[in-house]
Amino acid sequence: MQRKISPVAKQAVAHYIAESEKLNQTCDNPTLKQIRQQAQALLQQQAFPTQRDEDWQYTRLTGFVQNHFAVKQANKVTSEQVRQFMPDFAVTMVVFVDGWFNESLSDDLDALPKGLTFESLREAYDIAGDTEALFDREKHITKEPFGVLNSLLLADGFYLQVGANAYSDLPLFVLNIQTGSNHMCNVRNRIDLAENAELTLVERFVSLESLTESNQAASCTNVVTEVNMAKSARFKQVVMQEQSDNAFYFNNQFIYQADNSSCMTFYGSAGSQLSRHQNHIFMNGEHIESQQNSACLAKDKETVDSRTDTQHNDVWGNSQQLHKYVLTDQAVGVFNGMIRVDQKAQKTDGQMDNKNLLLSDSAKMDTKPQLEIYADDVKCSHGSASGQIDKNQIFYLQARGIRRADAIKMITHAFLLEPAEVIANDAIRHWVINRLSAGLASIQK
């Protein structure tokens, strides 16, 4: 049956296909042009999802579809403006502005430790040879609507290779700055970790609206990241999304794990009128470990959506998840998690927990934790709970001389920050806690 597409959605589809064609007209890479053309055909056929689509039932795209974001050159950003977003611990810094790699604002990436190679994806496209290998998993990516859009507007991102047994003492800090200029920041990243390699990656998404004349203009960030992990590789990741209140944020992560590898990914969300962060983890070997935690807060009429899809495809896999939301005003929270255990994946241990704190009568949480199990010797569970602060907890603190307002703040802080405890690096964990605490302070004024 032909999918019905509204006139507004048709205009959005036509706009993004035109943007894609502009990119193709200045592109000499046949593989890249073909990827964009295939995505054009998919978008033409499917358009953007609506609330009739089950996966988008609680995440309305009306505001996104009505805005037509353009892929433009980056606005100018100074090193002083970048400095305000730097963490308080030593890092190797990479800066993207409006979706484009900025070499002058980044550290000297030629000085990375032996075994680590960083390229902007623009450079990787220009490398003679097997460009097609960079797109060997397009079928997975284009199953997601914003994966299709990402392929349609492929322009820049980074390609990081970590050789066998290689690692860096310093975390790689990737700062994505959105300048609030009706810009589409379309970023495609790829990370290849060889056997026994290790990487700590911290990503931060922020807005710098003061650069534009119209500081109320919305912008959109759309990211796809692929992580390929060989045997015994270790990947630790923190993603902090703190864009402006009128921004849009979409991020799809595809992580492929081999035998004995371990992955820890933490997502913190404290901004954007609509944000949606999705992890797709494929545990394709024996004795794999994965940990996915998130801490999300939303205010006003914001929608914060966090999703996980964890595929246990071999024996002795262990996956752990803890997701917490704090919602106030008329904010909407959405969580959807799936643990799928293949028939081959005996001795799987998969745990998923979602807890949500509603600070107002108008806030709303939609949650759907799911298990799909085909093996018979596994230990899996999921759970979800939503509610307001327990009055007994408030009374307990008030009885010890703590004012009611302070008691509520203390309880909310303790609730939201628990998922961050999984971050082993003390400096990174404290930085994340400070960022989330700042977000909480802004909604508890």
Instruction: Express each pLDDT in 366-380 by its tens digit.
Output: 999 999 999 999 999
Q: H/E element holding 430?
A: helix 426-443
CA–CA separation, 173 vs 171, rounded Å? 6
- The pLDDT of residue 404 is above 80: yes
Highest mean pLDDT among 61-70, 121-130, 180-189, 276-285: 276-285
**What integer is the mean pLDDT of 160-185?**
94
**What integer is the mean pLDDT of 164-177?**
96
What per-residue confidence (pLDDT) applies to 211?
Answer: 43
Beta strand 220-229 with 184-193: parallel, antiparallel or unpaired? parallel
**What integer is the mean pLDDT of 180-191?**
91
- The pLDDT of residue 151 is above 50: yes
**Which of 42-51, 130-139, 147-156, 435-444 bottoms out in mean pLDDT, i.e. has the lowest?**
130-139
What per-residue confidence (pLDDT) applies to 126?
Answer: 67
CA–CA separation, 156 vs 20, rounded Å? 13
Whether the CA torsion 18, 21, 26, 31 is positive or negative: it is: positive
CA–CA separation, 190 vs 168, rounded Å? 18
What per-residue confidence (pLDDT) applies to 212?
Answer: 44
Give the three-state DSSP class for 23. Answer: helix
Residues 101-136 have pLDDT tens digits of 999 999 999 999 999 999 998 887 765 456 777 888
- The pLDDT of residue 181 is above 80: no
CA–CA separation, 366 vs 373, rounded Å? 23
CA–CA separation, 93 vs 54, rounded Å? 39
Give the three-state DSSP class for 259. Answer: coil
**What integer is the mean pLDDT of 395-424?**
94
What per-residue confidence (pLDDT) applies to 242?
Answer: 96
What per-residue confidence (pLDDT) applies to 2?
Answer: 63
- The pLDDT of residue 307 is above 70: yes
Cβ neighbors of 247 (< 8 A, separation 6 or more) are 178, 180, 207, 218, 219, 220, 221, 271, 272, 273
- How far is residue 11 from each of residues 6, 62, 66, 218, 257, measured CA to CA in Å? 9, 13, 9, 18, 40
Which residues partner with 325 through β-bridges?
A: 296, 356
- The pLDDT of residue 12 is above 60: yes
Q: How confident is the model at residue 352 (pLDDT cuts 50, 70, 90)?
A: very high
Give me the phi and psi of 437, to 5 degrees please.
-65, -40
CA–CA separation, 185 vs 73, rounded Å? 10
- The pLDDT of residue 213 is above 80: no
**What integer is the mean pLDDT of 400-429?**
95
Phi-psi map region of 109: left, alpha, beta (phi>0 left; psi -120 to 50 alpha) = alpha
- DSSP secondary structure letter of residue 70: B
Which residues partner with 351 through β-bridges?
A: 320, 381
Give me the phi and psi of 295, to 5 degrees please.
-135, 115
CB atoms within 10 A of CB 309: 16
Q: How confident is the model at residue 5 (pLDDT cuts 50, 70, 90)?
A: confident
CA–CA separation, 160 vs 203, rounded Å? 14
Residue 276's nearest CA partner among 239, 240, 250 is 250
Residues 217-235 have pLDDT tens digits of 789 999 999 999 999 999 9
Task: Check if the beta carbon of residue 206 is closer than 8 Å to that of residue 396.
Answer: no
Q: H/E element holding 428?
A: helix 426-443
- The pLDDT of residue 240 is above 90: yes
> Percentage of the chain with pLDDT > 90?
86
**Which of 23-32, 161-170, 263-272 bottoms out in mean pLDDT, i.e. has the lowest?**
23-32
Q: How confident is the model at residue 402 (pLDDT cuts 50, 70, 90)?
A: very high
Q: How confident is the model at residue 445 (pLDDT cuts 50, 70, 90)?
A: low
What per-residue confidence (pLDDT) applies to 130?
Answer: 67
Residue 202's nearest CA partner among 415, 425, 413 is 425
